[in-house]
Structure 1
Amino acid sequence: MDQDQKHQIPKTPTITLRKFMPSDVDAFMSWAADPQVTRFQRRHPYTDPTEALAYITTKILPHPWYHAICVDNTPVGSISVKPAPGEDRHRASIGYRIAYDYWGKGIATEALKLTVKSVFEELGYLERLEAIADVDNPASQRVLEKAGFKKEGVLRKYVKLKGESKDMVMFSFLSSDAV
């Protein structure tokens, strides 16, 4: 190893959020078609890029806050925030998913932190972000805790995932919590 190699600092990936584009369909398939990633989601993995493109154009693009999680400008996941309707619009639910190859690298945690900061600035009326994680998904629970979300409790038989009633752990982040 020469002197230059010895002193090189490993590059830290740049994690950013941006709106989706139809051209993101191949990147989207890297997580949306993976059974490991979709295990804790309501829908089954996509098998056809045409279906994925239809989902991007009909669901993601018109969504009020749905962004690609990018590592060095390449989409590796997605994160969405959906404000509650009517008088409950002071709160919103947040959900995220990330390609399996990027699990365990702090990317989801950083994306959550970026999202929290951004949505509380953009949506000034928002007071509460809430997220649920399957009781059988401790990795997602850890991500939420590392991003500053507070565990509130278990909601029994709260969600139907692929036909099965599942217990979920509720987490929240308030606008008054430190970002």
Structure 2
Amino acid sequence: MAQDSEVILTLSKSIVRRYHESDADAIVRGANTHLVSQYMTDAFPSPYTLEDAARWIKIASEEGALEFAICTLDSNTLIGSCGLQHLKGVESRTKILGYWLSTDYWGQSIMTEVIAGFSQWIFEQAPTLLRLEASVVEENEGSMKVLKRAGYQYEGTRKMAVCKNEKISNVALFGFTRENYAKMAGEEIKTDY
């Protein structure tokens, strides 16, 4: 099992922890499928090789990176990933959420639990953070359900926003604000950020 200092969340269906170099094979097993890559950005390799996995683990292990492995409770085997992209300037108090899960674990509410727990965790860790947001290609209905069930609010659609593999798609934008977090955590809502 992972050392406690590496685990950021222990949930009922999975754990979320820092990456290990030994995760490379599991990343390839879970990520190297069109079913996962079709909704990811072009930065997500397809096909996904061991070299890609090793490169990703190095990036995810850098100082300040907010990228984590989603693993099984019983064997600590990587089954997915979640993380946040930092924004700069006037948007520096917003982070962009990204995630994927191996198809072997779809339909088990694992990702909903991870996104809800991870979102609450990051607000606890970053007291000046104002919002998390996620963009989802409209055809990815499963991902939109995950975000809604995890407490994210639908905020609008960007028409014809992406073109991947010669297919043009709309993108739905979802947000989770510090006020959403405060309501879920039963805290007083602050208005003086």
TM-score (norm 2): 0.80
Mapping for residues 28-177 of structure 1, pairs under 5 Å: 28-43=27-42, 44-57=45-58, 59-62=59-62, 64-72=65-73, 73-162=76-165, 164-177=167-180
Find the aligned partners of 1:60 and 1:87 in 2 and give their Cα distance: 25
Gap regions ≥5 residues in structure 1: 1-11
> Cα RMSD over matched residues?
1.8
Q: SS at the partner of 1:154?
A: strand
Find the aligned partners of 1:163 and 1:120 in 2 and give their Cα distance: 37
Gap regions ≥5 residues in structure 2: 1-10, 185-193
Find the aligned partners of 1:51 and 1:74 in 2 and give their Cα distance: 18
Deviation string 1:57-89 (CA, Å, 9 cap, x unpaired) is 1x2222620001112122110001112112211
Distance change in 2, residues 1:13/1:173 (3 Å):
closer
Equivalenced residue count is 167
The one of the two structures with greater contact order (alpha-carbon pairs below 8 A, sep at least 6) is 1
**Is contact 1:69–1:78 with CA below 8 Å preserved after alignment?**
yes
1:6 alignment counterpart: none
**After the TM superposition, which of the residue ranges 75-84 and 61-70 deviates more from structure 2?**
61-70
Find the aligned partners of 1:61 and 1:131 in 2 and give their Cα distance: 22
Find the aligned partners of 1:13 and 1:71 in 2 and give their Cα distance: 10
TM-score (norm 1): 0.85
Pairwise CA distance, 1:46: 3.1
Deviation string 1:73-117 (CA, Å, 9 cap, x unpaired) is 221100011121122111111011000000010000011011111
**After the TM superposition, which of the residue ranges 13-22 and 40-49 deviates more from structure 2?**
40-49
Find the aligned partners of 1:84 and 1:103 in 2 and give their Cα distance: 30
**After the TM superposition, which of the residue ranges 127-136 and 48-57 deviates more from structure 2?**
48-57
**Is contact 2:13–2:110 with CA below 8 Å preserved after alignment?**
no
**Amino acid of the residue matched to residue 46 of structure 2?**
P
Find the aligned partners of 2:49 and 2:87 in 1 and give their Cα distance: 31
